[in-house]
């Protein structure tokens, strides 16, 4: 039996058939064996029905993205048997219940194996119902590729123990019979094998929203108010689930306007506070965002992008809100925008956002997207340096500081060289002050005087220049000099990283990438230097208008030569990027197999 470096598996079926729960459980079982896993959930915006799938990519080395090519499909219904026909590689196969009628001809033509088993019959035999065929299917895959059954048994025990021992033992029996049967019937002719890695370090497998929450907790977040909206909901749900352990107050509000205003009120009183929403909810929040700007209140907002405009494709991914976030709310006021692209960066940004918000007394927006919000990846347990994070509250006046004022009036918005005024919170007798959403004097009282307006506007905007010293430059992956230089932001990093690795492994052409995490204030000078020193540049954008491309052209004063844009609601994959690059770069050395590139996307060239 041949060993392979990695396997890609798609679990397909209708909403309600346990596609996501099966994929998540199977992923954990593989991770327990020391293997690296990337799990992607793809689902329609329906409670029941509609086609969903969960893709698992498992490898003995780290993986950062999904792939367009599939080795096995675990089909929970007739549609899923045929759905991924063009994605399955020769020698791969489809596992399905033998009661499903399948025409073998198209599979034989592509050298794909049909692997029917009595999955429903096995489930019912051991006291289960039809839906428990998903447990049998997981057992069957593991039996066929030789993955030790104990890892499946352990995960079943963990997942079902709350339902009692009878349910646990029933599921174990279902999985074991399917495991043994698939091993007997198909293992001998299977060209794939999965083996656990002995002595591997323990790992966790969060998704991006959970990583942001870990960072927020490390930074001392004590309040979140939110209204549920996919894909940001899990930020609130996860913080609500662990909030009691860390003294975090969570409040589900009646709408998004109330959510940001409650968080703004909490931040005004000195609490580290946040809210989380998607693009539609953020649209409702923007007036209050401006209030945070003019009152100089530190506030953290997580904006998890999905496809717009309006309801758009609510369960699909896109990066269409960056320019919106940069200019959201009327008038000019400073803000900081962070666009993490990995779990580690989600944690880092989730923590740093609170320091930046308090130090510079402004709103900080963390942009993620549906792809990053829901997909899981194995990382080492020490990947998040929770204990190493240091809280920085900036010019924060303690009670002892206020005691020393000697009767002088505390001026909340006093003019300073760096634009940052010493900040006190209500509660101290010497910190009784006013701040309003109108323009104001240094003491916070309303004014319409032109000279004061100029002073206060310039004071606030100075913060952006001051903040630059605390922001990170674009992150380089790959050689310092390369034939192709990519720019990306947010969740496109993982797929682009793997594409760059494949180009460099060819030894025929070189590539690197610059990933911009600290997006605003924009690193104009550094980006201009990179573009000037590059042989050819390609910008990745998960949107129609090229949000990052526009920022580079507008604020760095440089026009990147090429742009790859995707706006069909599906994420970039390494194969997609390579296929599009091949159309742009003469002599590109890789022959790329992909199905997803049939989807419409823009490939633009600029002179």
- Which residues in the chain are classed under CATH 3.40.50.970? 208-380
Give the DSSP per-residue string, 217-245. Answer: HHTT--EEEE---TTTHHHHHHHHHHHHH
pLDDT at 273 over 70: yes
272 is written with which tokens? Answer: 């580290």
pLDDT in the model for residue 595: 55
**The overall pTM is greater than 0.75:** yes
473 is written with which tokens? Answer: 């430059």
pLDDT in the model for residue 607: 38
The tens digit of pLDDT for each residue in 218-233 reads: 999 999 999 999 999 9
Q: What's the CATH code, domain 208-380?
A: 3.40.50.970
pLDDT, average across residues 10-32: 94
pLDDT, average across residues 472-496: 98
Asked if 32 contacts 87 with a C-beta cutoff of 8 angstroms, the reply is: no
The tens digit of pLDDT for each residue in 319-342 reads: 999 999 999 999 999 999 999 999
- Rounded CA-CA distance 448/450 in Å is 6
- Rounded CA-CA distance 360/463 in Å is 6
Nearest to 515 by CA among 279, 285, 339, 308: 339
Structure confidence at residue 602 as a pLDDT band (50, 70, 90):
low
The tens digit of pLDDT for each residue in 554-567 reads: 999 999 999 999 99
Structure confidence at residue 461 as a pLDDT band (50, 70, 90):
very high
Q: What's the CATH code, domain 7-189?
A: 3.40.920.10
561 is written with which tokens? Answer: 């030569």
pLDDT at 599 over 90: no
H or E segment and range at residue 338: strand 336-338
pLDDT in the model for residue 48: 77
- Residue with the bigger pLDDT between 214 and 604: it is 214
Q: Which residues pair with 305 in a beta bridge?
A: 369
DSSP-derived letter for residue 507 is S
Average pLDDT, the chain: 94
pLDDT in the model for residue 605: 58
- Which residues in the chain are classed under CATH 3.40.920.10? 7-189
CA 202 to chain centre: 22
H or E segment and range at residue 107: helix 105-109
pLDDT, average across residues 96-108: 96
pLDDT, average across residues 465-493: 98
pLDDT in the model for residue 49: 77
Provide φ and ψ at 152, rounded to 5°. Answer: -70, -45
Percent of the chain at pLDDT > 70 equals 97
- Which residues in the chain are classed under CATH 3.40.50.920? 475-605
Structure confidence at residue 154 as a pLDDT band (50, 70, 90):
very high
pLDDT at 601 over 60: no
pLDDT in the model for residue 597: 47
331 is written with which tokens? Answer: 């008038």
Structure confidence at residue 244 as a pLDDT band (50, 70, 90):
very high
Percent of the chain at pLDDT > 90 equals 90
pLDDT in the model for residue 345: 98
Give the DSSP per-residue string, 527-582. Answer: HHHHHHH-SSEEEEESSSS-HHHHHHHHHS----SEEEE--SS----HHHHHHHHH
Record: fold of 475-605: Rossmann fold (3.40.50)
pLDDT, average across residues 293-302: 98
Question: C-alpha distances in angstroms, 520 versus 286, 297, 349, 470?
Answer: 17, 18, 13, 12
pLDDT in the model for residue 508: 95
Asked if 305 contacts 319 with a C-beta cutoff of 8 angstroms, the reply is: yes
- Residue with the bigger pLDDT between 405 and 180: it is 180
pLDDT in the model for residue 200: 86
pLDDT, average across residues 362-374: 97
Question: C-alpha distances in angstroms, 95 versus 178, 230, 250, 313?
Answer: 11, 32, 44, 30
The tens digit of pLDDT for each residue in 35-65 reads: 999 999 999 888 777 899 999 999 999 999 9
């Amino acid at each position: 039996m041949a060993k392979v470096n990695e396997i890609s598996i798609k679990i397909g079926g209708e909403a309600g058939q346990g596609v996501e729960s099966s994929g998540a459980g199977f992923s954990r079982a593989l991770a327990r064996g020391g293997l690296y896993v990337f799990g992607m959930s793809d689902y329609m915006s329906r409670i029941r029905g509609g086609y969903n799938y969960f893709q698992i990519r498992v490898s003995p080395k780290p993986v950062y993205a999904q792939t367009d090519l599939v080795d096995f499909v675990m089909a929970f219904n007739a549609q899923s048997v045929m759905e991924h026909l063009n994605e399955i590689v020769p020698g791969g196969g489809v596992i399905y219940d033998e009661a499903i009628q399948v025409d073998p001809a198209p599979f034989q033509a592509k050298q794909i194996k049909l692997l029917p088993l009595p999955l429903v019959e096995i489930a019912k035999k051991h006291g289960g119902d039809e839906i428990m065929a998903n447990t049998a299917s997981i057992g069957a895959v593991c039996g066929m590729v030789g993955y030790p059954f104990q890892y499946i048994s352990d995960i079943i025990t963990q997942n079902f123990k709350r339902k009692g021992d009878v349910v646990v033992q029933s599921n174990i029996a279902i999985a074991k019979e399917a495991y043994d049967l698939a091993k007997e019937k198909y293992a001998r002719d299977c060209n794939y094998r999965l083996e656990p890695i002995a002595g591997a370090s323990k790992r966790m497998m969060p998704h991006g929203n959970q990583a942001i929450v870990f960072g927020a907790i490390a930074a001392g977040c004590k309040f979140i108010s939110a209204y549920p909206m996919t894909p940001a909901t899990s930020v609130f749900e996860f913080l609500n689930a662990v909030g009691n352990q860390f003294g975090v107050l969570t409040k589900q509000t009646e709408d998004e306007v109330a959510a940001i205003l409650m968080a703004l009120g909490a931040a005004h009183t000195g609490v580290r506070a946040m809210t989380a929403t998607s693009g539609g909810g953020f649209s409702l929040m923007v007036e209050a965002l401006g209030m945070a700007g003019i009152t100089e209140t530190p506030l953290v907002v997580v904006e998890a992008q999905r496809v717009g405009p309006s309801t758009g494709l609510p369960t699909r991914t896109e990066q269409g809100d960056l320019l919106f976030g940069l200019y959201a709310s009327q008038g000019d006021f400073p803000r900081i925008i962070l666009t993490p692209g990995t779990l580690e960066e989600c944690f880092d940004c989730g923590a740093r956002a609170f320091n930046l918000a308090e130090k510079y007394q402004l709103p900080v927006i963390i942009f993620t997207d549906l792809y990053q919000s829901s997909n899981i990846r194995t990382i080492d347990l020490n990947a998040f340096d929770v204990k190493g994070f240091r809280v920085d509250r900036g010019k924060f006046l303690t009670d002892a500081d206020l005691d020393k004022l000697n009767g002088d009036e505390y001026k909340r918005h006093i003019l300073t060289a760096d634009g940052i005024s010493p900040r006190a919170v209500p509660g101290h007798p010497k910190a009784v002050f006013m701040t309003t959403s109108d323009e104001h004097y240094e003491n916070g009282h309303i004014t319409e005087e032109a000279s004061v307006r100029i002073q206060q506007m310039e004071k606030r905007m100075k913060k952006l220049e001051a903040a630059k010293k605390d922001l990170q430059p674009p992150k380089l992956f790959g050689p310092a000099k390369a034939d192709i230089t990519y720019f990306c932001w947010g969740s496109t990093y993982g797929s682009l990283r793997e594409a760059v690795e494949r180009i460099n492994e060819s030894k025929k052409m070189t590539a690197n990438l610059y990933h911009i995490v600290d997006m605003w204030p924009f690193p104009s000078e550094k980006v201009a230097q990179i573009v000037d020193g590059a042989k050819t540049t390609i910008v990745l954008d998960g949107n129609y208008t090229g949000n990052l491309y526009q920022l580079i052209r507008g604020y760095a004063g440089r026009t990147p030569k090429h742009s790859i844009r995707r706006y069909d609601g599906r994420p970039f994959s390494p194969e997609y990027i390579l296929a599009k690059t091949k159309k742009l770069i003469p002599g590109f050395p890789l022959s790329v197999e992909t199905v997803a590139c049939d989807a419409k996307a823009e490939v633009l060239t600029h002179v």
